[in-house]
Amino acid sequence: MDYYLIAAVIVILFVALFLFFFFQTKKEFTRIEIVNEEGKQIPIDVEIADTGIKRMKGLMFRSSLGQNEGMLFVFDNEDYRKFWMMNTTIPLDAIHIAANGTVVEVILMDPCTSLISCKSYPSSQKAKYVLEVNQGFAKENGIEIGKSKLLLN
């Protein structure tokens, strides 16, 4: 009986620590730029999601996103990516970007209303980066597949 109590306390502590770090992530913005098909540099203030926890949380539980704001997901390698919109209430563009900075795909993602109806959005191209911005951002700013680039430092 005592082992079950100890195990339960340990599990509760791990869950509490996870939730603390999951919800206490401070917003820090970094300015990036994408060059559109006309050569115009478009500045975007992004939060960087470069750890498993940050990538898992993404833009969940947000009620709005500024006009030129977003989240840049940074992965260790170039691969096919899959996103879903659970607990995300903002319609988004997911701009998939290759390791060399070239935009390889733009996927329009809609919020889901329940776990059962929550659609996933797999990519058809490999990407090292995925930039999530308000839906329509790519079209409004002339961001085109194969013609637009993320400026990498």
**Sign of dihedral through CA atoms 120, 121, 125, 126?**
negative
Q: Which residue's structure tokens are 């995300």? A: 88
| Spatial distance between the Cα atoms of 153 and 145, rounded to a whole number of angstroms | 21
Written as one letter, the residue type at 20 is F
> pLDDT tens, 84-135?
888 899 999 999 999 999 999 999 999 987 878 888 999 999 999 999 999 9
Q: Which of 13-17, 39-43, 83-87, 102-106 has the weakest average pLDDT?
A: 13-17
The token pair at 2 is 């005592």
The token pair at 20 is 């603390």
Domains and CATH numbers, the chain: 26-150 (2.60.120.1140)
pLDDT band at 14 (very low <50, low <70, confident <90, very high): low
Indicate if the pLDDT at residue 59 is higher than 70: yes
23, 60 Cβ separation under 8 angstroms: no
| Spatial distance between the Cα atoms of 81 and 73, rounded to a whole number of angstroms | 10
Residue-level pLDDT at 113: 75
| Spatial distance between the Cα atoms of 129 and 102, rounded to a whole number of angstroms | 10
